[in-house]
Chains A and B, each alone.
Chain A
């Protein structure tokens, strides 16, 4: 995280491209870009755990899907719900779930942490998919997009695709900025200390379990924000949103882009999304090729795309 001008310029160019895209791209691709911005936000939240705190969570989709379920549950059948109330409820639910799951999980580390986060996410998955109150395996519809109004005055209309696109872009940007700030603050430095050497960080007097828990809750809440956007976007939420395949995909996106950088997950989301889309066009067995791609990624590109970028200026190999 250096403040040299080149990265800042690249960030601005990427932002300008995303902002200009709806004016030039076709409807289908604008919708795809929107989906991938949501995935990018989801991956960013996981990167705080995996890339910065050194906690490999394999149950991150739980918070993503839970927020969508909360939105579906609080949206009445006949009228939309207020955006502010919906956001508050969804984020609060994700944060609370992250607090509970995190409280159990941060007591463990390494492979136990992986398995426990996975198991808790599965618990929530089965709870939602088997309980008729939540629509069972069919999931629930979100009948209306929330309204962003102050009193009677409509601030902006999320039903307008353009407005919604910029709303998602602004949310992604806010998430990115929030994580940048957190990581530059002393709190973020402690998190990175935990990743590098937890024992030493504890010896310096930092109660590391508490720091890990706070990191887990922040990441879970941000994942909830992404899940909220996804539910608003598709108008639908199903147990699939919490499944371990979803957790695997977002983990893959983080690694593909490069963990421990913030631009990595965003690059990873767009690379993954375009690849998936391209494969789906070519073959119905695209999952097979996605699997081969993941295997090749681990074997030949451990640092992700960000690793390539970091190596490039020095002229090639590591």
Chain B
């Protein structure tokens, strides 16, 4: 592997990792703050991708589609939170796993009813369709660089919100002690709803922005969900910083795994997870149980 190839793979790995981070950060926030293990998180990623496919078909513009799509996804998320998830706060993990598993079945089948079982593609926006030449015969697509930049921007925005705003303060307080935060007069139910909506928005947004580089197909959320779990477990459940590091590790390991050991590519990330857990059972940035 020469330097240019290495660079291409590294950029791919970072782009994949950053996209994963957006999904996984929602998952880890929802768990860390609400104590909810949300298996339906991948389904929101899928909904995002299908919304992008549907709305790009209507508007012919990915950016407009994202602007229109996010409120739809958030509305779906909020209805689900109020109707179902809110009843699970005091239940054990088993009930949460089961209910959100039922949700996956509902959302996956609804997708099939609405959009059918075919594979679809979403075109790359024209203004981002070019490539950046790396060497004489190696080029890198602009759209992938764009994804990385946007994901970094969203990550920075999230850090700002969580570390620097009043809402972020409530979220952090809720994560460290739910009852005490509530006793101090903060409407914890509303904080939960906001966090859930934020998580859904992040997942749906990754689905939308990622749609042009992956294809759009039924059950696409399942694989993303499982890989996000691996990211969250490696990073430490509830830690956004851990999700960031974990997502980059997984993105790079998966991308280079596909090049270096193609026969065992899908196993590389799970082996990485097992190694991390041997060393630190609570994940890289997780609080010891």
| Residue positions of A touching B, CB distance < 8 A | 50, 56, 58, 104, 107-112, 114-116, 118-120, 122-123, 126-127, 130-131, 244, 248, 251-252, 255, 259, 285, 287-288, 290-295, 297-299, 302
Contacts and interface: CB of A to CB of B under 8 A. Distances in A.
A119 B229 contact: yes
A288 B103 CA distance: 9
Interface string B84-112: 10011001011101110111111111101
B160 interface: no
A292 B80 CA distance: 13
A288 to B, nearest CB: 4
Given A116-B277, A290-B102, 5 more contacts: A111-B31, A119-B270, A131-B263, A251-B101, A295-B103
A291 B229 contact: no
A116 B108 CA distance: 24
7 contacts: A50-B94, A56-B94, A108-B281, A119-B229, A120-B274, A244-B222, A251-B94
B119 interface: no
Nearest to B36: A111
B109 A115 contact: no
B267 interface: yes
B191 interface: no
B98 A122 contact: no
B229 A295 contact: no
Given A127-B264, A288-B106, A292-B106, A122 B94 contact: no
Contact of A127 (B112, B266, B273, B278): B266
Given A58-B97, A294-B98, A122 B109 contact: no
Interface of B: 31, 37, 84, 87-88, 91, 93-95, 97-99, 101-110, 112-113, 222, 226, 229-230, 232-233, 237, 263-267, 270-271, 273-274, 277-278, 281-282, 289
Contact of A114 (B37, B109, B110, B281): B37
Contacts, number: 120
Classify the secondary structure of A's interface with B.
Answer: helix
Contacts of A259: 94
Given A56-B94, A302-B95, A244 B113 contact: no
| 9 closest A-B pairs by CB | A294-B102, A291-B105, A126-B266, A123-B270, A291-B106, A288-B109, A298-B99, A295-B102, A287-B109
A288 B270 contact: no
A255 B267 CA distance: 31
B249 to A, nearest CB: 14
B267 A123 contact: yes
A127 B106 CA distance: 28
Nearest to B270: A123
Contacts of B113: 285, 288
B226 A118 contact: yes
Contacts of A295: 84, 99, 102-103, 106
